[in-house]
Amino acid sequence: MINVALPKGRLGDKAYALLARAGHPCPAMQEDNRRLTFENEAIGVRYFLVKPSDVAVYVERGAADVGIAGKDILLEYRPDVFELLDLGMGRCRMCVAGPKDFRDDPTQTLRVATKFPNIARAYYSAMSREIELIHLNGSIELAPLVGLSDVIVDIVETGKTLAENGLAPLAEIVPISARLIANKASFRFKGDALRALCADVERTMQA
């Protein structure tokens, strides 16, 4: 049995569709219910639905053999997992954003609001810029609007949320996409099955 942690939501739906096309379908997934585990015993696959930011936790600790996680989560939490494949979906950018006319004053500590403190800290420390981190859990764009921060470090996909709040991307930190990740012990003990799954997915992506 291969256990797969899928992120709940749009990315998870797309990732599951890819895995199903790649020969790992689970018809129970189509049922409209609130179950969190779905199994296709005949082909030996079980899917878990988890909060996107928790996928790497399930995989790192071996509760799931593989999972689909955004590169943002991998960079932020640095889980001890294998990154097998860039799935080319869930593409977006990790950016610094702020008011369109924002000018950084290097004599002042920069106040940065973010859901990604480690990514933000690494980015500014590489340029020796002193910052004050403000760790938020969502609606990050609000912070500069109400004077909580000067700028934000956040995911930009279409740029719509920024634009509708009078903000703009100021610098790109890193491009992001969804990755297929694997538990390290699973990769040793279920290596053949995981390598086959990875190859199936890769072949399907190229088809």
The three-state secondary structure class of 97 is strand
Q: Rounded to an integer, what distance in angstroms lies between the CA atom of residue 167 and that of residue 150?
A: 11
The contact mask relative to ligand PRP for 129-158 (x = CB under 6 A, - = no) is ---------xxxx------------xxxxx
Give whichever of 4 and 113 is closer to ligand PRP, judged by the CB atom: 113
CA of residue 64 relative to chain centroid, distance: 16
For the bound state, the minimum distance from the C-beta of residue 138 to ligand PRP, rounded and expressed in Å, comes to: 3
Q: Are 129 and 105 in contact (CB under 8 A)?
A: no
Q: Rounded to an integer, what distance in angstroms lies between the CA atom of residue 88 and that of residue 91?
A: 7
Which residues, other chains included, contact 111 with Cβ-Cβ below 8 Å and sequence gap of 6+? 131, 132, 134, 148, 149, 150, 151
For the bound state, the minimum distance from the C-beta of residue 167 to ligand PRP, rounded and expressed in Å, comes to: 10
For the bound state, the minimum distance from the C-beta of residue 20 to ligand PRP, rounded and expressed in Å, comes to: 25
The contact mask relative to ligand PRP for 152-191 (x = CB under 6 A, - = no) is --xxxxxxxx------------------------------
| 72 lies in the site for ligand PRP, by CB under 6 A | no
